[in-house]
Structure 1
Amino acid sequence: MALVEVRGLKKAFKKGGETVTPLDGVDLDIYEGDSVSMMGPSGTGKSTLLNAVAGIDPPDAGTITVAGTEITSMSRTKLADWRAEHLGYIFQTHNLVPVLTAYENVELPTLLASLSRSERRERVELALEAVGLTDRADHLPRQMSGGQEQRVGIARAIVMNPTLVVADEPTGSLDAATSAQIQDLLVRLNEELGMTLLMVTHDSEVAQLAGRRLQLDGGQLIELNEPHAAMPSPTSGVLAA
């Protein structure tokens, strides 16, 4: 059974007096341990699909089921609770709180959960260790490089052992060398820790790193390579805590 099942997803917008339909009956299965990249021309609806799967931007029609839970019929309040428990989001521009340290930024998602202080600390320390930033825990964003900031963003995305991690252009704001480092990190988190990843990218080199590559065009998804077998994930989630 797929971890993520998207069926008949449709989304339309009004643009310049015309109706644009970036998603026109999209079907998609993502299996536990998959790494999936999605490419396509600008404006084709890649981020729209990503945000629909993330429970941020509801579709006009169709269903999305994640780990057996159908999220498209949830209320906004229930969706917010679901995202806090099951979803990690990696942004293009980090979206760190500038007055908080790396540790405090990563800790933010844990504050919404019923965890003790020691449990929160353990999760944050494990997440920072996973991205190689243990020695930057007390640094503010302005004291870190762009690549380090993105690593903090990734640590924040995985700190709650999410069911699914989605990434919107995770290397889009980085130089080539730093982008390569983040690419290597995402590959390692997927291959060694079993992180299930759905990623939007314009970079063909980044897309090639994923086990599955998809193209979104004309409202439809095209599989560019044969899906690999689902990778087994640790039973405790992305991070043991």
Structure 2
Amino acid sequence: MALVELRGVSKSFQKGDETITPLDDVDLSIEQGEFVSLMGPSGTGKSTLLNLVSGIDRVDSGTIFVDGTEITELSRSKLADWRAANLGYIFQTHNLIPVLTAYENVELPTLLLKLSSTERRQRVELALEAVGLSDRAEHYPRQLSGGQEQRVGIARAIVSHPKVVVADEPTGSLDTETSEQIQVLLQRLNKELNITMLMVTHDAEAAEIASRRLLLQNGKFVEREKTVLVPEDQTPASGSVATQ
């Protein structure tokens, strides 16, 4: 079984008299260590998918397994415990607590786990080191740049050694240069730490860093080939972009 497995998942919402179905009997498998990006127009259900995989929201029908656990069958309290131990979440707007230092923000998820103080400290230090912020551990969010705040958010997402990390527009609030730096960081963490990632993005360039790319369209997933820019002197007759 894949690490993340969606089977026949559907989810609908009421908008006035209209029923919106962003996910319609969809199947999806994500293997251990995969980096999957998901694109699609606003309102197509990308964030809904993240909320379902993370157990924040419930499916109308179908099942979701993560590392063999059927999370669609868990009670709310068990879901909270499962999420703390198995899932990391990267937000677009960082969602750091302003009165806590970078170290304390990263430490928060570990307080929900049964760890010794020594192991908790080691995990936080390693997470901050992984994102290049060991020297900013005692800084507060107001003392950090936007990119550094997002790095703290990423460290917080990986500190509990989750089975899967979901990222909702992780570069959406950043300038181009900082966005590219965060893309490189996410790609490196995926490869070096074998972290399984599911990322929603509107940025086509950001989507390209993933090992697999999906488009959510009309309630279904469509596999997208990776685009490769071709040098001008090698431009094929049909156009300037090739696929592989």
Q: 2:73 aligns to what SS in structure 1?
A: coil
Q: Where do residues 60-139 of structure 1 align in structure 2 (5 Å cutoff)?
A: 60-139=60-139
CA drift at 1:224? 1.2
Runs (5+) with no aligned partner, structure 1: 227-241
Distance in 2 between the 1:166 and 1:211 partners?
15
Residue-by-residue CA offset, 1:50-99 (whole Å, 9 max, x unaligned): 11011111111110000010000111100000000000000000000000
> What does residue 24 of structure 1 align with?
24
CA drift at 1:121? 0.4
> Which has more radius of gyration?
2
Report the residue type matching 2:163 in the other structure: T
Distance in 2 between the 1:66 and 1:114 partners?
21
Residue-by-residue CA offset, 1:124-173 (whole Å, 9 max, x unaligned): 00000000000000000000000000000000000011000000000000
Q: Which runs of 4+ in 1 moved over 4 A?
A: none
CA drift at 1:191? 1.1
Q: Where do residues 1-241 of structure 1 align in structure 2 (5 Å cutoff)?
A: 1-225=1-225
Report the residue type matching 1:140 in the other structure: Y
Report the residue type matching 1:184 in the other structure: V
Q: 2:148 aligns to what SS in structure 1?
A: helix
Distance in 2 between the 1:13 and 1:118 partners?
46
CA drift at 1:225? 3.3
Percent of aligned pairs with the same amino acid: 72
TM-score (norm 1): 0.93
CA drift at 1:25? 0.5
How many pairs does the alignment contain? Answer: 226
Report the residue type matching 2:49 in the other structure: L
Residue-by-residue CA offset, 1:193-230 (whole Å, 9 max, x unaligned): 1110000000000001100000001010111139xxxx
Distance in 2 between the 1:94 and 1:185 partners?
15
TM-score (norm 2): 0.91
CA drift at 1:16? 2.5
Root mean square deviation of aligned Cα: 0.8
